[in-house]
Chain A
Amino acid sequence: MPVRRGSEYKEKGKRDAKRHREKQKQAIKKEIRKIISESSIITQKKGKKVKIPIREIVIPDFRPGNRKDEGENTRSGIGQGSGKKGAVIGRRPGSGQQPGKPGDMPGEDYIESEVDIEEVISLMLEDLGLPNLKEKEDRAKLETVTGFRISGITRSGPNILLEKRQTGKRGIGRFYAYLETLKEETGKDELTCYTALKEADGILGEALNLLEEGIETRFSQVEPFPIFDSEDMRYMNIKEEKTRHSNAVIFAMMDVSASMTTDKKYLARSMLFWINEFLKQMYEHVEVRFIVHHAKARFVDEDSFFKTGESGGTRCAEAYKLARSTIESQYPTDTWNVYLFHFSDGEDWDSEATISEAKKLIDDIKVNMLGYGEIRLNGRPFSSGLKNAFEKELNVNSVEIDEMDVIVGKKEHPFLGIVIKDKDHILPAIQEFLKKERWRS
């Protein structure tokens, strides 16, 4: 008979598909600096997935193209339909395009992949964490993931987590389903059908062929054996095991005065957005308080922190003061780890007051870290900028890391200042701020 059941083939695609996705991830990693500097990520609605258009990996070959379009990789082709010269027939996302705006017409070599913020973070921030974290008396809240435990069953997973009992049960279920099908379709008795299924190693099509050719019953009773198909596989689900640490609170402070232009604010927000997202993922129950300041400082909620635009003069000391009084009343440093991250453009009406507040935070209150990022676009130097004042007045060393000016305090003086000049500095600056090993002697 020319039309017959095929013998089932071993599944191949999955493994190679996984390999392709790994290659895509490596490609994302290469572009991570660009991805995290995308503005649409930090202005998006909460809880929404970040969509990053990812090209599928293409093997390069000699193909027609346009030498002028280096990088954009525009194509041409033949198509059909009504329409005159100039009519638009489709769109796809360009490489310079912001994520979150997928084209409505995916091109041939284009796959729109969704990537979680978590995934981006785990790709960019390996081996990072809160520096100078200390054991405090109350170890109630702060948790990190330190291991895994089994919890429940899922339909996919690595072989090592195969749940043998559940999978076996389904395999036996399939055995009986096949046996019934064989009986029904051939009208032969159970033992004959069983013999055929056994001979065919559980492959239905082959068992049918055997029965058609005629087969002798070789067994006196049915001994069911499991027959597996990919959809029968069950795997153990694993959950993270957590370790508790002492409490931690983060003060995210941002200058929103008139001199902070949209571009500067955008850099400051990007930095704080990623630091915040990272800490939320790394530590459960870490508290983050948001302060904006111009000549005055006030607390805002997370949403407005990443959105507000204000104007006015600048007194950085106001933000430090507000943070200090809050620490004293709500987050005493004998039970809390306290971190401050402050971003400004370095213009400060009263840098002396700021330095004195910074000293109080570091030396008197003994916060775990004061991080300061100075946003200077176009490399414009402020000779009187806050960073220069910090450099002069605090006990710090000046170094250059990844083309950024960095000032670092000693262990007993946990201050870190970085000058951020453009988008490309976002990732290395975050990596400096969150270097877990810093101040560990």
Chain B
Amino acid sequence: MSDEGSARKVVGGWLLLGGLLAVAILLSLMVGQIMITPAELLRGLMTGTGPGSLTLRVLRGPSTLTAVGAGAVLGVSGAIFQILLRNPLAAPDVMGFMSGAGCAVVAGVAFGLLIPLPILAAMGGLVAALLVAGLAFHRSGRQSPLTLILVGIGIGFFASAVSSFLVLRMPPQEAADAQRWLAGSLTARNWGHVLQVFGLGALLFVVLALQVRAMALLELGDELAAGLGAHVERARYGLICTGVLLAAVGVAVAGPVPFVAMMAGPLGMRIAGVRHPASRLTAAAIAGATITVLAEVISRSAIPGLQLPVGVMTGIMGAPYLLWLLWKEVEAGEL
């Protein structure tokens, strides 16, 4: 493979990935109970009047952009753990961090705590991560990624069970809302949600960008990373915290949507044809956004007159992929 050939392939990959996201966004704005044509959308954007404008400003724009933001932060979060643990199963949804974040939000609502959702979600995610690390702790200081993942799955089930218990004790209307949110929901998002997910997401992306070089060293193994000047433990904890917080930002606006974080990294890497952590994280952001926006369109239009939670759709897309990954691990003798 020549240098130029591979460079052209990579550019093509990025264009394809970006194109898919653009198509998904356009579909999401067009499709619904009333179809809006691209021409109407353009007119709405330019003039601020007509059905296109209403769709962009109120009906679909905020939900679509929230889906973009939530998908991006979840995708990046997943890619961080997949790179750190060198395992495609490692992601905040599989490892229970998102269930933990969701559980904390439900608890906040159930007990009437006046704490902003992103902070509740962040606390829940970090507690879940600490529990996973604590329970998988081994005196040798070396636990296998698979142990961490399995313990994480357990913590996830526990957090979900606690959430269900809390929901059962709520008044009926609140319980229905909470149930819906826990399944991962992007309906009726407003510009506040958009601002929140993009603001916090951008902040965390900057924090992450400062850690990417250390990440590229950690990928080579702890000893080489240390030899190349990385503070190995500090770098690892920094990246884990950033990953958990990114997942929490996603959960705060969209609920614990399953499988986006897990699918985005490998999908983005394949489509863009990239390898370096910086590129993988970027590709994961775009892929995560695309998956979430698409899942949101389908969940809204698959069954006329019925609005499914977006998490149901990502579940239907993600579960076969998870099973395939597990089957591969079994084949490789890892499980």
A and B physically associate: no
